[in-house]
């Protein structure tokens, strides 16, 4: 039989006790993760890389010098213009390689490889909506990519001159 002292201690326990215990555990976990993050910034490569323009910065009187690009393998973008890019920076889907496709928002290495595999199966893309066949690319993603891509390269100036010479010549 339970003593009266034991019954009062059990009945005095609040129903909020398990919730408070979980909150305390989560707070301890978050504090530990913050410590790990701070240590990685102090001891590591400067913490987590953030895309340019992602975080607003306070305006300063003088511009900050451009930081050097990271020296990690596979992260650095090619400096020479690719044949798969138009003059205005659009990616040409039927010529693009993995590095070209990775310039597009939401396209990483694996998704770029999946796009190239699909292009190989189809022989070439006939419309931008063909990208919907890539696993992980939905209607919203394709709508976001549409203004950033073209299917084939635009006609060169030499081709335009040959085609347009009869029109521009003024044959009255």
What is the per-residue pLDDT across 53-97, written as a single tens digit (0 to 9) for each? 555 555 555 555 565 555 555 555 545 567 778 888 888 888 888
Domain range for 105:
91-150
* Domain-embedded: residue 113: yes
Per-residue pLDDT at 24: 94
Q: Which one is predicted more confidently, 170 or 123?
A: 123
**CATH code, 122:** 1.10.150.320
- Number of domains within the chain: 2
* Domain-embedded: residue 98: yes
Calculate the dihedral angle through the C-alpha atoms of 119, 122, 123, 126, rounding to the nearest 10 degrees: -90
* Domain-embedded: residue 80: no
Q: Count other C-beta atoms under 10 Å from residue 99's C-beta.
A: 15
Helix, coil or strand: residue 150: strand
* Domain-embedded: residue 104: yes
In Å, what is the CA distance from 4 to each residue of 13, 78, 89? 15, 78, 80
* Domain-embedded: residue 108: yes
What is the per-residue pLDDT across 125-161, written as a single tens digit (0 to 9) for each? 898 888 888 888 888 988 998 888 888 888 875 555 5
* Domain-embedded: residue 8: no
């Amino acid at each position: 039989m339970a003593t009266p002292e034991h019954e009062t201690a059990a009945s005095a326990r609040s129903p909020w006790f398990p919730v408070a215990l979980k909150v305390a555990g989560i707070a301890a976990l978050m504090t530990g993760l913050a410590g790990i993050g701070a240590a990685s910034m102090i001891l590591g490569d400067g913490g987590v890389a953030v895309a340019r323009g992602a975080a607003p910065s306070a305006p300063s009187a003088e511009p900050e010098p451009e930081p050097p690009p990271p020296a990690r393998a596979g992260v650095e973008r090619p400096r020479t213009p690719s044949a798969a890019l138009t003059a205005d920076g659009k990616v040409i889907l039927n010529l693009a390689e993995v590095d070209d496709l990775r310039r597009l928002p939401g396209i990483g290495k694996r998704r770029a490889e999946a796009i190239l595999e699909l292009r190989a199966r189809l022989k070439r893309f006939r419309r931008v909506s063909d990208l919907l066949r890539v696993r992980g690319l939905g209607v919203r993603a394709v709508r976001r990519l549409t203004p950033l891509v073209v299917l084939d390269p635009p006609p060169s100036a030499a081709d335009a001159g040959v085609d347009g010479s009869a029109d521009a010549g003024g044959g009255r």
